[in-house]
Amino acid sequence: MATEVKIPAMGESISSGILAAWHVKDGDFVEKDQVLYELETDKITSEGSAEVSGVISLKAEVEDEVDIGQVVATIDESASGSSSAADKQSSADTASAETSSEASAEPAAAAATAAETSSEAKPLSPAARKAAEETGVDTSKISGSGKDGRVTKSDILEAAKAPAPAASPAPAPASAPKASSAPAPAGERKETRKKMSPLRRKIAQRLVAATQEAAMLTTFNEVDMSAVMKLRKQHQEKFVERHGLKLGFMSFFTKAVTHALQAVPEVNARIEGNEVVTQHYYDIGVAVGTDKGLMVPVLRDCDKKGFAEIEGDIMDYAKAARAGKIQMSDLEGGVFTISNGGIYGSMLSTPIVNHPQPAILGLHNITERAVVINGEIVARPMMYLALSYDHRLIDGKEAVTFLVKVKEAIEDPARLLFGI
C-alpha cells in the first residue's frame, strides 16, 4: 500500500510553491512525522512531514514549481527498513551478476550495447530542461549524476561553467587587411543567475504596489536614547533573572508606538475603497530580516502586554522566521509596522509602507552626537526616527504629532506608565 505525499493547503492566497529541498533520498526508509521536504511560497517557507512510515519514492525534484494538492512522493507502507535494505542488497547482487555475465560476452556485442546506451535520449526534469535551454548546453554530451544516469540541473550548470575547447584559428589570406581589435576587458567578467524565490517576488510586488497605490510621505525627528539606556542598565540584571530574557529597545518602541496610536487614532486606520476603517486594536508588526527576505510577524494586543511579553514574542517570532517555521497567521492583520535598520548600521532611511497599513516607523543607528541642552553643548546617544505614511489618509499635523508622541515616550519612559 502506497500513501501519497501531497502539498497541503496553506491559505487561500497560496496556490503553488517551489520545492526548495528534499531532506530524504529516493528509496530511503522514512519514519512517521519525519521531515521530508522544504517548500518555499510567496509568503512563507514551510516543511512537510511523513504521515506514515515506509520506503519513499520521490515524484518531484528540487526547484520544481509544485501546486497545492500535487503529489510529490509516495510512501510504501508495506516495506520496512530491514526489507528495504535486503531489497537493495538483492539488487546489488543481481547487478553484480549481470556485470560478470556481460564481461564474458564477445567484445563486439559489448561495444554495440554501449553504443546503443549512449545514443538513447537522457530524460530531463522541467528544471533541468529549462537550465539547458537557458545555457545552450548539449545534454547528450553530459554524464548525468542523477538516478539511472539522469542529467540534473546542477550537471547542466557545471557543464555551462566549463570553458569551451579552443579551436585552431583558420589562416587568414596574406592580402587581407589587418582588422582593428577592440581592447579586451581587464580580467574575467563573471556573472551568476538565480531564479527569484517566490518570497522575494512577492516582496517586490508588494513594495511596488505600495509606492503606486499610496501617496507616501516621510517625516523625520530625532530622539535622545539616554533615559531608555539608563533604565535598561539599571534593571537589566533583575529583568533577566525574573523573565529569562533581556530587555531590548524594541519593546520600548513597541509600547511607545501603541501609546502614540492611542493618542492619534487617525494613524490607526486604513483605506478600503471609499471608506476609512479605524482600528481599535493594537497589533504591531515588527520587521525581521532573514536570509530569504524580510518578514513582518505581528505582535498582538500590544496595549495589554508588558515589556517581558513583548520581548518574548519578538524573540520567538525572530527564531521561527529565521528557521523557516513562521506561520501564515503570524504575518496577517497588523495595523502598523516598526522596522529597525539600525541593527545593520543604517543612519537614516525612508521606509516603505507595508500596504494596506497606513504608516511605518523606521529606527536607525544610535550614535553619540553633540546636542544643545539648556544652552550647553553635550554629547548624547541620539537616534533618527523616520515615519513614512499614506498622505491620502494622514495629514502632516497627525504624522508630526504621532512622531512627537513616540519621541516623548522614549525620552521620558514614565509617560508609558501613566499614559500621558
Tell me which H or E stretch contains 285. Answer: strand 284-286
Alpha helices in 372-413 (DSSP H): 396-411
How far is residue 350's CA from residue 342's CA, in Å, rounded to a whole number? Answer: 13
39 and 21 Cβ atoms separated by less than 8 Å: no
Geometric angle at alpha carbon 96, from 92 and 100, rounded to 5°: 170
Q: Which of 14, 19, 125, 6 is nearest to 70 (CA)?
A: 6
3-state DSSP assignment of residue 143? coil
SS3 201: helix
Q: 287 CB contacts (<8 Å, ≥6 apart)?
A: 294, 295, 296, 337, 338, 339, 340
Alpha carbon of 176 to those of 94, 167, 170, 172, 418: distances in Å? 66, 21, 13, 7, 92
Q: Is the dihedral of CA 179, 185, 187, 188 positive or negative?
A: negative
Which spans in 216-346 are helix H?
Answer: 226-243, 249-263, 307-322, 328-331
Distance between CA atoms of residues 122 and 141, nearest Å: 10
Q: Which residues are catalytic?
A: 391, 395
Evaluated on CA atoms 278, 396, 370, 411, the torsion sign reads negative
Residues sharing a CB contact under 8 Å with residue 118, sequence separation 6 or more, in sequence order: none
Q: Are 285 and 334 in contact (CB under 8 A)?
A: yes
Query: What does the alpha-carbon distance between residue 78 and residue 69 come to, in Å, rounded to a whole number?
Result: 24
If you search the block for the grid coordinates 519612559, which residue do you land on?
A: 413
Cα separation, 34 vs 38, in Å, equals 12
- Closest listed residue to residue 30, CA positions, set 8, 63, 7, 3: 3
CA dist., res. 105 & res. 338, Å (int): 74
